A and B are shown apart, each in its own frame.
Chain A
Amino acid sequence: MKEIVCKLLVIGAGPGGYICAIRAGQLGVDTVIVEAVKAGGTCLNIGCIPSKALIHAAEEFEKVSHMASAKSPLGISVEAPKLDLAKTIAWKDGIVGRLNSGVLGLLRKARVKIVHGRAKFRDGKTVEVETETGVQVIRAETIVIATGSEPVELPFLPFGGPVISSTEALSLKTVPQKLVVVGGGYIGLELGTAFAKIGSKVTVVEATSQILPQYDAELVKPVAKRLADLGIRVLTGAKAKGLSGSALLIETAEGAEEQLAADKILVTVGRKPRTEGWGLDELDLDRAGKFLRIDDRCRTSMRGVHAIGDITGEPMLAHRAMAQGEMVAEIVAGKKRIWDKRCIPAVCFTDPEIVTAGLSPDEARAQGYEIRVGQFPFNANGRAMTMLSEEGFVRIVARADSNLVLGIQAVGSGVSELSSAFALAIEMGARLEDIAATIHAHPTRSEGFQEAALKALGHALHI
């Protein structure tokens, strides 16, 4: 097969890779992208998008179920709803399919050449791709590694049979009666919550002392309360030991052994960078732990080889990868760019949702800042009251000397949409006064943001 020679080769068409390729194409860089599975990567095919589809369907179903129980204060009553999960999954697949062809269309529009197959490095400038029609050799001046990450497997609970990863959980055709989730991080809780809402009896097994261990206890509290309301059993400090028939054997925090009966066991104990199968050993790139070591231009230790996305470290988030991809494309096109982002917002689509941007109070203190913190609860917010979801709060962390906003966190129903305001405030270098003096539309949950800033300044109006 005739060799392809190009200026930029991107390996992996996930959110990092495809953004990199599109931006490079826009800038007139002769670009090729290689994808082994489907354009869009984990995020679009088996991650963010399909999980949000399932979560939404579960939320809707739960709302109607609640009305059917005749407990709804809204005065609505309905007959008991039914769920056809196979149909839900088909709807989800439809969305994924639409976005999938959308990405391919955008790549084509940017004149990016797409090669389907598994790439393997031959050397730092040359890659072989096993395509359906044979081995395609691609030579490039610059190569971007965007191979992403994959779920971590527990050696004593290998995937297969009743043991599933998030990928399989998003394609189940029937609702498992008993679902055990191993790992109480955001993926496990998002999916566990969704399945509880559509009728599974869910148990979450978390090895540390707190679910969502990366968040502070205050942020997690409303989520823990809701899990309890939904009848989800949460076992913290408990360790999965292995399978016993179709039950999961665990050691509880007290040291006792217990068997958890399960139709499905969902293992969500984290994700690991995909460092195998594409010839990393041949390149011998420097590592930072299990990730590839990169500098502030996403350069690896080898000249002409960049890396972006999950393979480069935490936080493993699609929007971080996208920003890196865009930056690398501009660097390849000859622009001067360095990674100078001040925050990477993160959203946890639990019920209620959690948003974080910048530093938490503890992180800010640990970095040596004198801080002031303002927190405003949604039970004092009109819009939250009218939506029957008063749990949660907005919290702002600012420097005590200059009132410069260092971090913003929120937990509450629908707060994911506040993430843009939070991130913008931090990137713009906003002070508490900037947020406090900005008119926030009434009645919205965003008023909580303004009130939190006022609170930190010492003159909140609604509490």
Chain B
Amino acid sequence: MGEFIIKMPDVGEGVAEAELVEWHCKVGDPIREDMILAAVMTDKATVEIPSPVTGTVLWLGAEIGDTVAVKAPLVRIQVAGEGGEVEAVPMAETVTITPSSPQRGEGARRADEGDALPSIRQPAPSSGPAGLPAGEKGSRTAPDTLAKPLASPAVRLRAQDGGIDLRQVIGTGPAGRITHDDLDQFLARGAQPQPAPTGLAKKTAVEEIKVTGLRRRISEKMVLATSRIPHITYVEEIDVTDLEDLRATMNATRKPDQTKLTILPFLMRAMVKTIDEQPVVNATFDDDAGIVSRHAAVHIGIATQTPAGLTVPVVRHTEARGIWDCAAEVVRLAEAARTGSALREELSGSTITITSLGAMGGIATTPIINHPEVAIVGVNKIMTRPVWDGSQFIPRKMMNLSSSFDHRVVDGWDAATFVQRIKALLETPALIFIES
């Protein structure tokens, strides 16, 4: 009998670690080749890990929620014959988007169940050094005795219950001792700068929410984008009165079960047309290697709100899609993203991104670029405003576009040219459909 160690595979997208979101096996389970062992979450997608061998699970290397480094041992399997080590091959076909919370809960329960089957050893899931989040490790260092705040046990207990860090509280007692009065004052100051009106009570509770799963991915991605990319944001107003008229005409003949057009398909087609002349914005920038890849294909990411958080499904090859096709694909992807059934390639590989909050779109936004892309187009809401036509004010439907560019590789001139060209196309929408 030998032992086979399956390691966390390189799940692509340049990630060094992935979060374990689900175990499909437990210690003692018999495993056939190709059976799914676990699911791990990378940047935006969940990847399932199949078993390369047949045997019995001896040991699980992480608990649900743990971040596991690529190449760290994930599962040990007892096999007939010689053992070995292998890096698992993630299954590309069966990738699903971030599971929603009920699925996660189910995964946790499954891992909690003990093994009813007899097994040779009884190892257990453990978070090894690689599995421990760095933050948690750091918190284990002993506090400096010199820095310990001076307070009686009762004051300390009150502070703990109220979630107060006593190091923030100024002690007025002898030798800087923190008294109950000091704590009262701190609470009063912290909750309300002015005396609270009568009848209103101070609230001091603090809810700690662990940033995990998709939320952690989003957080990391946002930090990456804002810390690496010097953004230039350009806001321009567009008169969409004619576009809205055209859209209304085109939608009028649609049956209730047919997809109707929103602004987005027009914008997508306008972007495709503009990118033809202005390829600098449809690119990805590998800043470590110092290479900008300009893409012939226009894969437009559509920032989409899902119950779990922000995801960006991708309308691939927009340059080869007609306006109705674009509209249908946007609807289909948004639905897939919301229900968690989008495929991995539907959630990655965009070359430029659109972000739109529709009616919530505001007057202007400062969109954050979807790294490693170099441009993002933000759609603001349409409002009827008075516009001076040279002799009088007339009501026009106006919409702002707020677009950000990676200023390292896109100059202000190019950014402005790109947006002005889109403006021209959207203001005279017939131009979008004229073959060049």
Contact = CB atoms under 8 A, between A and B. Distances in A.
Interface in B99-157: 112-115, 121-129, 132, 139-140, 142-143, 145-146, 148, 150-153, 156
Interface stretch (A77-85, A108-116, A314-322, A425-433): A425-433
Contact of B124 (A122, A338, A404): A122
B23 to A, nearest CB: 12
Contact of B160 (A128, A279, A338, A428): A338
B175 A404 contact: yes
Interface of A: 3, 120-126, 128, 137, 139, 141, 279, 282-286, 293, 295-296, 301-303, 335-338, 340, 342, 367-369, 399, 402-404, 427-429, 431, 433-434
Given A282-B121, A368-B146, A427-B152, A402 B126 contact: no
Nearest to A434: B174
Most buried by A among B112, B115, B125: B112
Given A427-B153, A429-B150, A429-B151, A295 B174 contact: no
Interface string B144-181: 01101011110010001101000000000111110000
A296 B150 contact: no
Contacts of A404: 150, 175
Contact of A137 (B114, B143, B153): B114
A122 B114 contact: yes
B114 A123 contact: yes
A220 B27 CA distance: 54
5 contacts: A128-B122, A302-B63, A403-B175, A431-B174, A433-B174
A125 B150 CA distance: 38
The residue in A128, A285, A302, A303 that gathers the most chain B C-beta atoms within 10 A of its C-beta is: A303
Given A285-B126, A302-B63, A336-B161, 14 more contacts: A121-B122, A121-B124, A122-B122, A123-B114, A123-B124, A125-B124, A126-B124, A139-B114, A279-B122, A283-B124, A302-B124, A335-B160, A340-B160, A428-B153
Nearest to A342: B148
B143 A296 contact: yes
Nearest to B112: A125
A280 to B, nearest CB: 11
Contacts of A121: 122, 124
Contact of B163 (A141, A293, A336): A336
A391 B65 CA distance: 60
Contacts of A139: 112-114
Contacts of B112: 125, 139, 141
A5 to B, nearest CB: 10
Contacts of B65: 303
Contact of B176 (A122, A367, A402, A427): A402
B124 A303 contact: no
A372 to B, nearest CB: 13
Given A367-B145, A404-B150, A124 B161 contact: no
Contacts of A402: 174-176
Contacts of A126: 114-115, 124
Closest A-B pairs by Cβ, 5 of them: A123-B124, A126-B114, A402-B175, A295-B140, A122-B122
A282 B124 contact: yes
Contacts of B129: 286, 301
Contacts of A428: 152-153
A212 B65 CA distance: 48
A18 B29 CA distance: 35
Contact of B123 (A282, A335, A340, A429): A282
A220 B7 CA distance: 57
A367 B146 contact: yes
A301 B132 contact: yes
Nearest to A304: B63
Contacts of B139: 295-296
Contacts of B146: 367-369
Given A367-B146, A428-B152, A335 B127 contact: no
A427 B148 CA distance: 12
B128 A123 contact: no
Given A137-B114, A335-B161, A284 B128 contact: yes
A182 B174 CA distance: 48
A369 B125 CA distance: 45
Contact of B126 (A283, A296, A335, A434): A283
Contacts of B142: 296
B138 to A, nearest CB: 10
Given A123-B114, A336-B163, A302 B156 contact: no
A372 B112 CA distance: 56
A335 B159 CA distance: 12
Contacts of B156: 340
Contacts of A368: 146
Nearest to B150: A429
A295 B137 CA distance: 9
B418 to A, nearest CB: 49
B27 A123 contact: yes
Contacts of A434: 174
Nearest to A286: B129
A139 B153 CA distance: 35
B214 to A, nearest CB: 20
A359 to B, nearest CB: 8
Contacts of B121: 282
Contacts of B148: 340, 342
A367 B160 CA distance: 27
A287 to B, nearest CB: 12
Nearest to A138: B114
A121 B124 CA distance: 8
A431 B175 contact: yes
Contacts of A123: 27, 114-115, 122-125
Contacts of A369: 146
A425 to B, nearest CB: 11
Contacts of A122: 114-115, 122, 124
Contact of B127 (A3, A303, A367, A403): A303
Nearest to B171: A429
Contacts of B153: 427-428
Contacts of B163: 336
A279 B123 CA distance: 9
B127 A429 contact: no
Interface string B343-365: 00000000000000000000000
A430 B50 CA distance: 62
Contacts of A282: 121-124
Contacts of B125: 123-124
A284 B61 CA distance: 10
Contacts of B126: 124, 283-285, 301-302
